[in-house]
């Protein structure tokens, strides 16, 4: 699709116009629909319609609806982890790292609210396959590593890393959901407020 060799001027121009390619169009359509109505609540033809492709086309790109949701999960989880880990200031003080992690999660949630909802909604769905679960687990390890390191430096409370990760992740999710639902109407920079609170929650 992105290989230009052998394409004449017309196909190059067309390719530029139809930009994302059908596969991505399907994934994008599925993302917003699954986030909104859930996996079982979304019919494949609806995904196709939103992606502006024929219903059969979905099955040219994905073996089944289950395969589609798994590919989508890995794409979004991968993007999330990418954003979180790229050029992270490993040498910075834990306080600064925490702030940075929170800032990146916030950016992801604000720029891709549907992706955030989708990932949250499909966390432990029974139709996620082994590969998806593995990616999920690897993502959590990232947090655990940061926590263990900061605990070793005696900056974080000596609670179980899984517990600290759970409350920070949970609190972030709570704020993000509330923000998305418009429940934080007038609040002044809720993400920053929440970040400050959660640092108090975990710091020694």
Partner DNA sequence: CATGAATGAGTTTTCATTCAT
Partner DNA sequence: TATGAATGAAAACTCATTCAT
| Residue 44 interacting partner from DNA, a copy of itself, none (CB closer than 5 to 8 Å by kind) | DNA
Look up residue 116 and give its two tokens.
């955030």
Burial of 27: CB neighbours in 10 Å, binned 0-12, 13-18, 19+: buried
CA distance 144 to 162: 7
| Residue 178 interacting partner from DNA, a copy of itself, none (CB closer than 5 to 8 Å by kind) | a copy of itself
Binding residues for DNA, per CB under 7 A? 1, 7-8, 10-11, 14, 22, 40, 42-45, 53-61, 64-66
| Residue 55 interacting partner from DNA, a copy of itself, none (CB closer than 5 to 8 Å by kind) | DNA
Among 37, 94, 108, 143, binds a copy of itself (CB under 8 A): 37
Q: Point out which residues pair with 203 in neighbouring strands.
A: 156
Residue 198 is a binding residue for a copy of itself (CB under 8 A)? yes
Residue 162 is a binding residue for a copy of itself (CB under 8 A)? yes
| Min dist. Cβ of residue 13 to DNA (A) | 9
| Residue 188 interacting partner from DNA, a copy of itself, none (CB closer than 5 to 8 Å by kind) | a copy of itself
Residue 118 is a binding residue for a copy of itself (CB under 8 A)? no
| Min dist. Cβ of residue 102 to a copy of itself (A) | 12
Q: Using only C-alpha atoms, what is the Rg of the chain?
A: 20
Reported in sequence order, the residue ranges of the chain that DSSP labels E, i.e. its strands, are none
CA distance 145 to 109: 22
Contacts of 155 (CB under 8 A, 6+ apart): 93, 94, 95, 203, 204
Give the footprint of a copy of itself on residues 1-20 (CB under 8 A).
Answer: none
Contacts of 110 (CB under 8 A, 6+ apart): none
Among 22, 25, 39, 65, binds a copy of itself (CB under 8 A): 39
Q: Of all helices (H) and strands (E), which one includes residue 110?
A: helix 94-111
């Amino acid at each position: 699709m992105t290989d230009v060799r052998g394409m004449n001027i017309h196909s190059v121009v067309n390719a530029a116009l139809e930009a994302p390619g059908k596969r991505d169009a399907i994934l994008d359509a599925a993302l917003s629909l699954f986030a909104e109505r859930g996996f079982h609540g979304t019919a494949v033809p609806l995904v196709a319609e939103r992606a502006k492709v024929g219903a059969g086309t979905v099955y040219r790109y994905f073996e089944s609806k289950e395969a589609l949701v798994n590919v989508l999960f890995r794409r979004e989880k991968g993007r999330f982890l990418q954003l979180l880990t790229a050029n992270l200031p490993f040498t910075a003080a834990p306080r600064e790292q925490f702030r940075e992690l929170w800032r990146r999660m916030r950016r992801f949630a604000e720029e891709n609210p549907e992706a955030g909802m989708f990932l949250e909604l499909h966390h432990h769905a029974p139709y996620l396959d082994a590969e998806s679960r593995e990616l999920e687990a690897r993502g959590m390890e990232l947090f655990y590593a940061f926590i263990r390191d900061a605990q070793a430096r005696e900056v974080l409370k000596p609670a179980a890393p899984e517990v600290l990760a759970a409350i920070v992740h949970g609190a972030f999710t709570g704020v993000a959901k509330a923000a998305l639902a418009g429940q934080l109407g007038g609040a002044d920079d809720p993400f920053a407020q929440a970040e400050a609170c959660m640092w108090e929650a975990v710091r020694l």
